[in-house]
Structure formats: C-alpha cells, structure tokens
A and B are shown apart, each in its own frame.
Chain A
Amino acid sequence: MATIAAVIASTHHPFYYRASTSTGADRPPFADEWVAKITAFRETLTRSRPDVLVMVGSDHFHQMWLDNMPQFLVGKAPFYDANYYNEEREFGLPRMLVRGEEDLSAYLLRQGLDAGFDLAFSNELRIDHSVTCPLITLRPECDLPIVPVYTNIFAPPLPQPKRFVELGKAIRAIVESWPSDERVAIIGTGHLSLELGGPRQFGPHGPDPEFDRQAVGWIASGDLESALAQVSLESLWLPGNATHGFMDFMLMMGVAGENVKADYVDSLDLFHTMEAYFTWYPEAAR
C-alpha cells in the first residue's frame, strides 16, 4: 500500500512568485522574510521524500464555469498545462506543464464514487494558481506527478463545510489503500479571512485577524469539532467575502485527522491577508 509521506495545508498567494523573483526597486520590503518562511516550509515537503503529490485546490473561474459547475472534481490526465492568461497578466505567473499520476487518479475516482462522493472528472484540465502556487512554493522543480482535486468554494450553492471534511477523510483513506509502493504527499491550499472585490479588500492586514488567529489554532491542533461548530456557509461571509476558501483548509484537516497536531506551523501577516503553513507527518506517528 502507498505511504502518506506528508500532509500539507497552506494559503496560496499568487503574489509570491513575483515578490520572490523581483530584484532592486521592484522587490517589495516583505519579500525576504516571505522567501525565508517559504524556504523553511518547502523543506518540510522535501524531507518527506514524496513520489507523488495529490493537490487540492479550487479553480478560480477558469475552466469551471456556471453553465456546468462541478462541486468536487478529480483530474485524470497524463499531463496538466497550467496557469492562465489572466494570471500571467495580474500576477506574472509563468505557463507550466506538470505530469499527472493517472493510476492514482483512476483509483481515487473509483474508490471515491464507491464511498458515496459523486466526483466529477476531467481528462483535459488546465490547472490554475490554486495548484501552481503550492508547486512554486513547495516543489518548484515540478518534477513529481500530481493528482489535482478541485473543490467549489466559489460559486454558490457550495457543499457544506462538513462535506469538505468528509471528503478529506475519504481521500486520506483511499490514498492509504492505493496498491502502490509510492510515497504520496497530500497538499491542499485555501485561505484564511480574505476579501476580494469588496470594501474590506487590500487593507493593512487580513480582514478579520481574530478569525485568522482562531483558524490557525483549529488547524494546528486538528480541532475539527470547534471548526465545524463555529463555521457554516453563512458564517464564512463575515470574516471576508472570499473566506469560503477556508473550507479547503477544513478538507485538509480531514486528511490530517481529528485532533492530530501539526508537526510544523508557521504564519506570516502580510498586508492584506495572513499566510499560514502547516505540515503533518503521518508516517512518524505510526
């Protein structure tokens, strides 16, 4: 059976690539600290020696559209082209090409369907910055095959937070039962409090630092009970109008396991959102 080498959850910030690669007067004052934190975070994946990456993210109205919107979708393709013209335009993100691990995609789809998750699939998926940002931060070589898993945190009606957690638990169990000798890292990215296209956007820090403090505590301690008790589809509007991306963190809490403390926790209070980085090593706990 496959081994879960690491479980990693983080925010995905599309400004990182440009901030980290800019020089001279173009380099923002926060870039060096950010790069140092990302470099340390990257090491938490590297040391787990993964062979395959399951990447949980959310399409930002690129390939998924309102005429045909999946709630949860698994990519099953030998390759994934990545990043879009509007991400190149706004964030300076490069075009990328990533290999796919089709056997694990097929296994995740079959087992997921049989476990009661009516997963959509795509045989030609162009992935966006929700998947490429963590590749850039955690595995910039992009040398490992991936299985992308997309969630709808964007276009109401959304699945309930509880469903994200259940899917996370199912992904963990399915990957652990995959008949393979490979070491799999499961990586997912979402948001803490975030406002985009609303009056609280791009402030001096995230729109709701108290939510962020609480959320980091839930994730770091695996406190699914508190998170599920205090988070609802309605409540997530309060910390910021893009905060439903927190449900991808809740999915990853499901992957990591109830009350399982993260082995690595870090955060960075950027000017308009809090960055947060978590790694668990399930193998070490065995």
Chain B
Amino acid sequence: MSKYLLDKFLFTIDRDPELVERYRADPRGTVEWWEAQRANVILNLPEIERSTWLRFTDEEREALATHDYVRLFELGAHHFLTLTLFIALFERDYDEPLGFQREYARRLSHFSLPYPDIST
C-alpha cells in the first residue's frame, strides 16, 4: 500500500493547471506517464537525486486511472487532496452551485465512522 504516493499524485496534479486538464482528458495515460516519470522525483530536490522505490499497487493505479474518488477515499487517500483536485476536474460539468460536491457526498454516503485511515 502506498497512500503517500496516491497523495503525491493528487498533490502534484492539483498544483499544475496543465496537468489538471491532462488528467481530466486522459486519466489512464496521465497516471502511467506520472508513475514512470514523476513518482520518484523528490519535490525539493534536483531530478538526478530521485527516489528508486515508489510505485502504485494495482488497485491504486486503477482507482486513479478511472477517476474513482470513492475508491480513493476507501484506500485512505487524503480527503482534502482528493476533493480539491476532483472539484477542479468535474465541478464545471454541473449546473447547480456545489452540484458536484453534493454528488460526491452522496456517492460516499455508504461510509460510516471511522473513515478509512489517511495516515501516511
């Protein structure tokens, strides 16, 4: 399990306008590119000092590749990172203010306390 890497994906996509659009348009391709090229880059180090050991589990990769925020919640991805990025991806598709956010809540409504652990 690599909750940290899930969070790192959400964090690094969310902060880059071009990557947000790329992930919306081509989720699987973006996840595969990111895992191959970016997953091991330590964010405040030159790229030559990259890590060597970070990779997604199959279920994590699949959840990201299918925009499955319900599964991400279940896997313990940080709820704030997931929400922020997915608002950027999909809020535009809803007419009502907060329409996407309410749909998001409805789709998570089968979860009860305690929620999946977000500790990394």
The chain A residues found within 8 Å of chain B, CB to CB, are 28, 60-62, 65-68, 84-86, 89-90, 154-157, 196-203, 237-238, 241-242
Contacts and interface: CB of A to CB of B under 8 A. Distances in A.
A85 B108 contact: no
A66 B80 contact: no
Contact of B80 (A28, A61, A157): A61
Interface in B84-120: 84, 87-88, 97-98, 101-102, 104-106, 108-111, 113-115, 118-120
A156 B115 CA distance: 14
Interface residues of B, number: 37
B111 A66 contact: no
A198 B79 contact: yes
A179 B103 CA distance: 54
Contacts of A242: 79-80
A62 B43 CA distance: 12
Contacts of A197: 73, 78-83, 104
B15 A85 contact: yes
B108 A199 contact: yes
B7 interface: yes
18 contacts: A61-B11, A65-B43, A66-B120, A67-B44, A84-B15, A86-B88, A90-B88, A156-B118, A156-B120, A196-B79, A197-B78, A197-B81, A199-B108, A202-B98, A202-B101, A237-B113, A238-B113, A241-B79
B17 A85 contact: yes
B119 to A, nearest CB: 5
Contacts of B42: 67
B83 A196 contact: yes
Contact of A66 (B8, B105, B106): B8
A61 B115 CA distance: 20
B14 interface: yes
Contacts of B98: 202
Nearest to B3: A66
Contacts of A89: 17, 88
B56 interface: no
Contacts of B87: 90
Contacts of A200: 105
Identify the interface centre among B8, B14, B106, B111: most chain A CB within 10 Å of its CB. B14
A201 to B, nearest CB: 5
B34 interface: no
Identify the interface centre among B11, B80, B104, B113: most chain A CB within 10 Å of its CB. B80
B9 interface: no
A197 B84 CA distance: 8
A196 B115 CA distance: 12
A246 B120 CA distance: 22
A157 B105 CA distance: 26
Contacts of A238: 113
Contacts of A155: 78, 120
Across the A-B interface, the 5 shortest Cβ-Cβ residue pairs: A197-B79, A197-B83, A199-B108, A202-B101, A156-B119
A172 to B, nearest CB: 30
A198 B104 CA distance: 8
Contact of A198 (B4, B84, B88, B115): B115
Contacts of A237: 113-115
Contact of B73 (A85, A198, A202): A198
A28 B53 CA distance: 49
A199 B103 CA distance: 10
Contacts of A68: 44
Contact of B101 (A65, A66, A85, A201): A201
